[in-house]
Amino acid sequence: MAAGLTGAAIERLRATAEQHVGDTRVPGLVALVARGDDVYAEAFGRLGVGRPAVQRDSLFRIASITKPVTAAVTMALVDDGRIGLDGPVDRLLPELADRRVLRRPDGPLEETVAADRAITTRDLLTFTFGFGMGDGMFGSGWPVVSASDELGLSTIGPVNPDVQPDPDTWIAGLGSLPLIAQPGERWLYNTGASVLGVLVARAAGQPFEDVLRTRLCEPLGMRDTAFWTPRTERLATGYLPTQAGLKVWDEPDGRWSRRPDFADGAGGLVSTADDLLAFSRMLLAAGAGVLSADSVRAMTSDQLTPDQKARGGLGAGFFENLSWGFCQAVYPDGAFGWNGGFGTSWLVEPNEDLTVIVLTQRLFESPAPPPVHLDIRAAALETGKAM
């Protein structure tokens, strides 16, 4: 129980979380609300139907919350001068040099034009380098989507460590495909963060997971954040909602129980609520010696032009109430964060010194977070006023 929280505030958060927990709803979750040094964190339910109770340090697949973590590691190397923010990535990623661009996104792979310019690191960080997910692609049968699937890239769709090849093969596969849009033209989701993992590894001369550990996780004490875990007894069972109820999607000894060939910077991490809190506190403390204040400011501020937003998004009105920084959403009130489609959400409100983390094992059914996340977030924002 956190100092500074009233009993009524704690009960409000607890009641909000508990109403969503059950074998047919959300089997288990961890909710964490922090304001400054005051922290409320509580575990509810079970790691899976018939499994032990969730604990505060239980592991969850955080999916796309991996993206801002990847951005932070990238910016650490930008701070070092190993990666140029606005220079072409061609030197480290020759597979992405001299790009061709589809004449139309749903067109044949052979119908292309030359790219107007080279891809930059900033393009990757802002998801404007010309490849990724956009509205209308899912189930589209577009040739570029089919080709990406055949190569096992898992870039226009969920991360799948069982099919993704090693980094050199992965980036060569991506380089064999035309871009969907001109560099800098529009926002396309996901793929930029996957590419950043390869870029970081080549800039540092070591595997991406090692750079993540030494540049971010160890300095911040994020000891449970990794691309796989041998501690499968702590990992929640993943569930897919269906019309017939929850269906097991990934077992604890499944895809995240062994080292992947490709450490996917777009969605491959497992983590805990307290590790994500440590990440939040670093950003709230202007980098805390891990990043420069300028890098944090760039990560957490609007980086898109009106044209990029008008041509991008994951559905109608996607950018009406948010924009995009480096690998994460940013909001008009200064808040930032993102959600993980495998059942997690992470939001930071700097003006309130507030962090809200909700970790579940129920996959999202749309780009918008399910009610369990929105309800706990709303209760947390009210609770923050009492902390």
Distance, in Å, from the CA atom of 309 to the CA atom of 320, rounded to the nearest integer, reads 9
Predicted confidence at residue 140, as pLDDT, reads 66
What letter does residue 181 receive in the DSSP assignment? S
What are the distances in angstroms from CA 379 to CA 124, 203, 240, 330, 382?
Answer: 35, 43, 26, 20, 5
Is residue 48 within 8 Å of 23, Cβ to Cβ?
Answer: no
* Angle, CA of 193, 195 and 201, to the nearest 5°: 105
Q: 360 is written with which tokens?
A: 């579940």
Distance, in Å, from the CA atom of 30 to the CA atom of 359, rounded to the nearest integer, reads 5
Is residue 288 within 8 Å of 281, Cβ to Cβ?
Answer: yes
What is the distance of C-alpha 235 from the center of its chain?
18
- Phi, psi (rounded to 5 degrees) for 113: -130, 165
Q: How many residues does the chain have?
A: 387
* Angle, CA of 330, 331 and 332, to the nearest 5°: 135
Domains and CATH numbers, the chain: 7-70+206-384 (3.40.710.10), 83-204 (1.20.58)
Secondary structure class of 187 (helix, strand, coil): coil
Secondary structure class of 306 (helix, strand, coil): helix
What are the distances in angstroms from CA 256 to CA 153, 343, 365?
Answer: 17, 15, 21
Predicted confidence at residue 139, as pLDDT, reads 58
Distance, in Å, from the CA atom of 264 to the CA atom of 171, rounded to the nearest integer, reads 12
SS3 of the chain: helix, strand, coil, percent, to 5: 35, 20, 50
Residue with tokens 């550990």: 213
Q: What is the mean pLDDT of each run of 10 residues along the chain (387 residues)?
A: 61 96 96 93 97 98 98 98 97 98 96 98 98 78 93 92 97 98 97 98 98 98 98 98 96 98 98 98 97 98 96 91 97 97 98 96 93 95 62
What are the distances in angstroms from CA 219 to CA 36, 174, 213?
Answer: 19, 33, 8
Question: Which of 64, 47, 21 is CA-nearest to residue 341?
Answer: 64
What are the distances in angstroms from CA 273 to CA 43, 270, 335?
Answer: 10, 10, 19
Secondary structure class of 216 (helix, strand, coil): helix
Question: Which of 145, 29, 74, 39 is CA-nearest to residue 328?
Answer: 74
Q: Which positions ≥6 away from 82 have C-beta within 8 Å? A: 203, 204
C-alpha dihedral, 149 to 152 to 156 to 158, nearest 10° = 120
